[in-house]
Amino acid sequence: MRVLIAAPRGFCAGVDRAIQIVELALERFGAPVFVRHEIVHNRFVVERLKSMGAVFVDELDEVPDDRPVVFSAHGVPKSVPAAAQDRGLAYVDATCPLVSKVHRQAQRLIEEGRHILFIGHAGHPEVIGTFGQVPAGSMTLVETVDDAQAVDVPTPANLAFLTQTTLSVDDTAAIVRALRLRFPAILVPRSEDICYATSNRQAAVKSIAPRCDKMLVIGAPNSSNSLRLAEVAEREGVPAKLIQRAIDIDWDWLGQPRILGLTAGASAPEVLVREVVDALGQRFEIVEEIAEHEPEGMVFKLPRELVA
Ligand code: SF4
């Protein structure tokens, strides 16, 4: 069996930074360091950090007054750092700088008096965080083309749209087309909100899909960008399954494809790719091939309070 490994895949700069922030906070403050929500959507990463002394909580009131807290890469509503400040908690914000950029755009648009249509998935922490940057009622969620065609807006002549960073590039383009058709004056963001990592990983799946008979995507079921990778493969006509680890491989479903595509979402570490390749190697005679790609070379600065 040929295993064709997509590239780029796996960790993005925002995930890498968020994990380093927790590790550095543990070094700086000692254990336990509290983390509000999964730092990134990957159980393996979360378990490793737990073993180092990180404690994951759902809400700030579970954090003792004398311990530091880290906010996850997905971003938090403004009310969260404000509440931490009120309590005098030491906190470090691991929000990905590309999510923070969307937060700033949202605030600027509201200051300009616009109503925002936000393209994203209801309930995702990034969406909750971005809605929490602006006054209630000043932003409306649009999840589908149907939503775009039906959404009721207070000021049709004074609209803008923004998007979640981890969406399907193709679905978002269709929603944007529907919005622009209905609201020709809608303000388009100066630059794409879907992040480089999401777009590059989807493009990598598209580029190998024509050669693949099946595809495995390593990622968590609550990881938006990983789910999108499986969707992209399926839309290219390649049966695809999302798995968290090698143990999740459904061998009956897999059968013995001639060429198996393999990729990993932005929150899945490379060690899990190796684990899956090893598991495949134990069952089949495999030949590995890594798809050619341009290196991404994106690195985000760490918060000053942890590196000073
Ligand atoms: S997927 Fe994109 S927005 Fe999310 S953490 Fe990675 S780089 Fe940042």
Helices 13-29 and 43-52, interaxial angle, to 10°?
Answer: 10
Q: Tell me, in angstroms, the distance from the centre of ligand 1 to residue 29's CA.
A: 26
pLDDT of residue 308: 77
CB atoms within 10 A of CB 176: 20
Q: Which atom of ligand 1 is nearest to the CA of 12?
A: 6
Largest CA distance in the chain: 62
Global pTM?
A: 0.96
Q: Tell me, in angstroms, the distance from the centre of ligand 1 to residue 140's CA.
A: 22
Q: Is the pLDDT of residue 186 over 90?
A: yes
Q: What is the C-alpha to C-alpha distance for residues 264 and 245, in angstroms, rounded to an integer?
A: 10
pLDDT in tens, 81-100: 999 999 999 999 999 999 99
For 179-196, what is the mean pLDDT? 94
The pLDDT mean for the chain works out to 97
Q: What is the C-alpha to C-alpha distance for residues 92 and 66, in angstroms, rounded to an integer?
A: 14
Vertex 197, ends 199 and 253: CA angle to 5°? 75
pLDDT-based confidence at 192, cuts 50/70/90?
A: confident
Burial 66-97 (b: 16+ CB within 10 A, else e): eebbbbbbbbbbeebbebbeeeebebbbbbbe
Q: Which of 23, 47, 59, 126 is catalytic?
A: 126
pLDDT-based confidence at 216, cuts 50/70/90?
A: very high
Q: What is the C-alpha to C-alpha distance for residues 210 and 6, in angstroms, rounded to an integer?
A: 12
User: Is 126 assigned a catalytic role?
Assistant: yes
Percent of all residues in the chain with a pLDDT value above 90, rounded to a whole number: 96
pLDDT of residue 191: 82
pLDDT-based confidence at 293, cuts 50/70/90?
A: confident
